[in-house]
Structure 1
Amino acid sequence: MSSFNLVESPLEPAQAIYDHVLPAGEGWLHPVKAGQTLRIIDLEGNQAVDTLFYSASDFTERYSATETLKAGAIYLTAGSRLMSSRGREMLTITADTCGRHDTLGGACSAESNAVRYALNKQPMHSCRDTFLKCLWQYDGGLTKRDLTANINFFMNVPVTSEGGLEFADGVSAPGKYVEMKAAMDVLCLISNCPQLNNPCNAYNPTPVRLLIWN
């Protein structure tokens, strides 16, 4: 499946049953039921939205980057299926006005901040910190061992001809969105990335908007 498969959504925000603006650096842990549609809107452009999904009935079944790559391509876009660690479809991207989302770059952490940028960047807020805070606040038995390779919606991480990764300028813009329909009851975990050290978000983390429809 090629990237940049742009598809508009017919859904109207006024008809959503849930509407929330998530500031940069904040986390979100929320259920999405089978048949419901989740939209993530990049309000100001080029914001990275680190995302994981868990089966609501069994947290040991969760989003799998490996199974998702097997079912599609390196970059996610409209039509991409998000697969579980048991090879089952969790969600399908039904609309996408950005057209390209990363599956390989992972979440920033204290360790990656130090390795990629500088030792003095290690204490900076990271997506892994946000993920862990959400799991700690959630009384559901999830722990840091449940953090796996995540999706980075709106993030541009090209794969080089040598097989390496580059963290490049974003390809999104204000108001671009990605929308996905759940094939099973899932728990969605988001870190709206606070990263200040790479160009994916133009060194300026910004809020995103989250909507859910029945």
Structure 2
Amino acid sequence: MTYQHEIPAGAAWSFPVRAGRLIRLTALAPDPNATMLLFGPDRLDRLNVPDTLKAQMSARVRPPMVLMSDRGLALASVTASSLDWHDCLSGFVHDTLLTVELAKYGLGEADLHGSVNFFSKVAIDDRSALTYVPGHAAAGDTVDLRTEQDVLVVVSTARHPLSDQDPAAVRIEVSPATEAHRPQRDEAARALEMSRRTLV
């Protein structure tokens, strides 16, 4: 059974998703940005972008990568994507969209943390300055994630913080996943194994 919801442009959505589910984000217009926050089942453990990038030796998110928590656990795996770059360096537009969603779960501004900006790409120059790259994503582009723990997923479709593009709508689908949806990456093996142990 698949749950499906369309997040309008410039809106936000949140939902607790059980472990072993496949989350698919689909761009419904050109140049979308889907800012995602992830929380573990206790709401204290959450996505740690620096550790995610350092452990997997990358400056971008792409499959097959694992999104790791503060405790080094795998929260979700990026299992497939029509794009080879999703930004996780630029943060998010600081507005009320995310904090309104967090308030539904007893969380607040202090619980905001590093995010992944799915469908967005930034260029990095010789001085480490970041520039938004327009035209990176088109309508119909997708990215799939497999939840490795019970997670709280929070998504905003506000514009990328470095972009002047209008925001775009994104569809989110949640369905059962299989072991085939779990990536095999040596750098993420420990995080995946630790997450498996928490489910026993």
TM-score normalised by length of structure 1: 0.77
Question: Percent of aligned positions with the same letter in both sequences?
Answer: 29
Contact 1:196 1:204 in 2 (8 A): no
Q: By how many angstroms is 1:195 displaced?
A: 5.9
* 1:142 aligned onto 2:107: yes
CA separation of 1:59 and 1:197: change in aligned 2, threshold 3 A? closer
Q: How far apart, in 2, do the equivalents of 1:59 and 1:44 lie?
A: 32
2:193 aligned partner: none
Give the secondary structure class of the aligned counterpart of 2:124: coil
* Candidates 13, 17, 29, aligned match of 1:32: 17
Q: Which runs of 5+ in 1 are unaligned?
A: 1-15, 110-127
* 1:60 aligned onto 2:27: no
Map 1:81-160 → 2, pairs under 5 A: 81-109=66-94, 128-136=95-103, 138=104, 140-160=105-125
Give the secondary structure class of the aligned counterpart of 1:19: strand
Contact 1:71 1:83 in 2 (8 A): no
Q: By how many angstroms is 1:155 displaced?
A: 0.8
Give CA-to-partner distance per residue, 1:170-207, whole Å, 9 cap, x none.
411110000000110000011111469825xxx22221
1:168 aligned partner: 133
CA separation of 1:195 and 1:96: change in aligned 2, threshold 3 A? closer
Q: By how many angstroms is 1:45 displaced?
A: 2.1
Q: How many residues align?
A: 175
1:187 aligned partner: 152
CA separation of 1:31 and 1:49: change in aligned 2, threshold 3 A? same
TM-score normalised by length of structure 2: 0.83
Q: Which runs of 5+ in 2 are unaligned?
A: 177-200
Contact 1:40 1:209 in 2 (8 A): yes
Contact 2:32 2:159 in 1 (8 A): no
* 1:69 aligned onto 2:53: yes
